[in-house]
Amino acid sequence: CPTPADLRPTNGTRLCAVLYSDDSPYYAQCCSGDSLEVLPGSDVPYMPHGWSGRASSLVVGTRCELTVWSRRGKEGKSRRFSA
């Protein structure tokens, strides 16, 4: 997995988080598969098409916090992740 300080897409802008579709009990195989980039300041009440219940690993950048909810529309239980 990338380190929180290394979260930058190919164009070099800063990312707040990256969610990955594949995970593994072996650290070297984590953070693989499709990825979903989260920009700083994003407020997305619904997951993009095809991502609902699909994210299995994530990395949150430094000075960022990612809050997720168990139900769509920011409903249900929430959980916060940070670097």
pLDDT, one tens digit per residue, over 19-70 is: 998 877 777 778 888 999 999 999 988 888 888 888 888 999 988 999 999 8
Contact 62, 5 (CB under 8 A): yes
The encoded tokens of residue 3 equal 């380190």
DSSP 25: S
Domain that holds residue 24: 17-82
In a domain, 1, yes or no: no
Alpha carbons within 13 angstroms on the beta-carbon side of residue 8 total 7
* Domain count for the chain: 1
Instruction: Read off the amino acid at residue 66.
Output: L
Give the SS3 label for residue 20: strand
In a domain, 11, yes or no: no
Give the SS3 label for residue 74: coil
This prediction has a pTM of 0.82
